[in-house]
Amino acid sequence: MTDGITRYGVEGGSGTGGQHLPFARAVAADGWLYVSGQVAMVNGEVIDGGIVAQSHQAIRNVLAILEEAGYGPEHVVRCGVWLDDARDFQSFNRVFKEYFGAHPPARACVVSPMVVDCKVEVDCVAWKKP
């Protein structure tokens, strides 16, 4: 912790091919938690499967980081979503609603080529009273 800032996963973890990831999984400051973008990665490799399987895993990765930091989906105020293919929008929405339907956050969703070979990336900002 530095001046009220707590960094989770500062070792960076590893991405595809064992590449070191030079950023924190999340950073907390004054009740706010900023979770880095998560893809459908397990043990440094993107899982097989279509948009539904990858959406579930990307969101589970976000939720695991929230839990590690003492937050839950009810604390999420905003999500950012990147889809590789606009045709996946409705399928992603169905999965998203399973996790955030009771506490829907604000959200932006864009179509963008991905840096790794995946179909979706999700980040979020959460808040709870310090």
pLDDT (tens digit per residue) in 32-51: 999 999 999 998 899 999 99
pLDDT band at 93 (very low <50, low <70, confident <90, very high): very high
Domain 5-127 fold is 60s Ribosomal Protein L30; Chain: A; (3.30.1330)
Alpha helices in the chain (DSSP H): 51-68, 89-100
Tens digit of pLDDT for each residue in 104-113? 999 999 999 9
Question: What pLDDT was estimated at residue 111?
Answer: 98
Query: What is the C-alpha to C-alpha distance for residues 39 and 73, in angstroms, rounded to an integer?
Result: 17
Bigger pLDDT: 68 or 15? 68
Question: Of the candidates 39, 42, 4, which has an alpha carbon nearest to the alpha carbon of residue 122?
Answer: 39
Give the single-character DSSP code of 116.
S
Residue 28 β-bridge partners: 6, 33
Please tell me the pTM assigned to this model: 0.91
Sorted by where each begins, the domain ranges of the chain are: 5-127
Whether the pLDDT of residue 28 is over 80: the answer is yes
